[in-house]
Amino acid sequence: MNKRMLGKTGILVSEIGFGGEWLERHPEEESIELIRYASKKGINIIDCWMPDPKSRDIIGKAIQGNREQWYVQGHLGSTWQDGQYVRTREMKYVKPAFEDLLERLQTDYIDLGMIHFVDTLEDWEYIQTSDFLKYVKELQKKGIIRHIGMSSHNPVVAKIAVKSGLIEMLLFSVNPAFNMLPAGEKLDDLLSENYKYGENLSGIDTERAELYRLCEEENIGITVMKGFAGGRLFDADRSPFGVSLTPLQCIHYALTRPGVASIMCGYDTVEQVEEALYYEEARETEKDYASVLANAPLHSYKGECTYCGHCKPCPVDLDIAMINKYYDLAIMQPEVPATIKSHYMLLEHKASECLECHACETRCPFNVSNSERMKKAKELFEE
Residue 306 lies in a domain: no
Q: pLDDT above 70 covers what percent of the chain?
A: 94
- Shared domain for 271 and 362, answered yes or no, is no
Task: Identify whether 298 is part of a domain.
Answer: no
CA 379 vs. chain centroid, Å, equals 31
- Residue-wise DSSP of 37-65: HHHHTT--EEEE---SHHHHHHHHHHHTT
* Number of independent structural domains in the chain: 2
Q: Is the pTM of this model over 0.95?
A: no
pLDDT at 92 > cutoff 70: yes
Do 78 and 122 have their domain in common?
yes
pLDDT at 126: 96
Q: Are residues 150 and 265 in the same domain?
A: yes
Structure confidence at residue 378 (pLDDT): 94
pLDDT at 194: 61
Q: Does some domain include residue 264?
A: yes
> Do 123 and 179 lie in a common domain?
yes
Range of the domain at 332: 320-382
For residues 376 and 354, give the distance between their C-alpha atoms in angstroms, rounded to a whole number: 11
| CA dist 144 → 8, 110, 136, 147, 235 (Å) | 18, 6, 10, 9, 42
- pLDDT at residue 189 in the model: 60
* Average of per-residue pLDDT values in the chain: 90
Predicted pLDDT of residue 248: 96
Q: Which residue has the higher pLDDT, 233 or 301?
A: 233
Characterize 289-325 residue by residue with b for buried, 16 or more Cβ atoms within 10 angstroms of its Cβ, and e for exposed.
Answer: bbebbbebeebbbeebbbbbbbbeebeeebbbbebbb
Within this chain, do residues 56 and 200 fall inside the same structural domain, yes or no? yes
Dihedral angle over CA of 320, 5, 115, 217, nearest 10: -40
User: What pLDDT is stored for residue 42 in this prediction?
Assistant: 97
Residue 142, helix vs strand vs coil? coil
- Asked which of 285, 300, 334 is the last residue of a domain, the reply is 285
User: Do 228 and 374 belong together in one domain?
Assistant: no
Angle at 364 between CA 363 and CA 370, to 5 degrees: 110
295 within a domain of the structure (yes/no)? no
| Average pLDDT of the segment spanning 190-194 | 57
Q: What is the CATH number for 274?
A: 3.20.20.100
> Are 144 and 72 within 8 A, CB to CB?
no
Q: 349 and 203: one domain?
A: no
Residue 215: which pLDDT band, with cuts at 50, 70 and 90?
A: very high
Task: Specify whether 279 is located in the same domain as 333.
Answer: no
User: Residue 192: pLDDT band by 50, 70, 90 thresholds?
Assistant: low
- CA dihedral over 94, 162, 231, 5, signed as positive or negative: negative
What sections of the chain are H helices per DSSP? 28-40, 53-63, 91-105, 121-128, 131-141, 155-164, 187-190, 206-218, 247-255, 270-277, 284-287, 290-294, 320-330, 338-345, 359-363, 370-382
Task: Note whether 245 and 299 are within 8 A (CB).
Answer: no
Average pLDDT value for residue range 197-208: 72
180 vs 190: CA distance, rounded Å = 11
| 17 vs 31: CA distance, rounded Å | 15
Residue range 120-177, pLDDT digits in tens? 999 999 999 999 999 999 999 999 999 999 999 899 999 999 999 999 999 999 998 8
169-173 and 145-152 beta bridge pairing: parallel
pLDDT digits (tens, 9 = 90+) for 349-370: 999 999 999 999 998 888 889 9
Q: Are residues 276 and 376 in the same domain?
A: no
Task: Tell me which of 346 and 38 has the higher pLDDT.
Answer: 38
Report the distance separating Cα 148 and Cα 75, nearest Å: 10
pLDDT at 67: 95
pLDDT tens-digit series, residues 311-330 = 888 999 999 988 988 888 88
**Non-local CB neighbours of 201 within 8 Å, separated by 6+ positions:** 180, 181, 299
Residue 103: pLDDT above 80? yes
Amino acid at site 194: N
Mean pLDDT across the stretch 247-273? 95
Q: Let me know whether 264 and 158 are in one domain.
A: yes
194 and 340 part of one domain: no
Domain identity same for 243 and 368: no
Within a domain: residue 293?
A: no
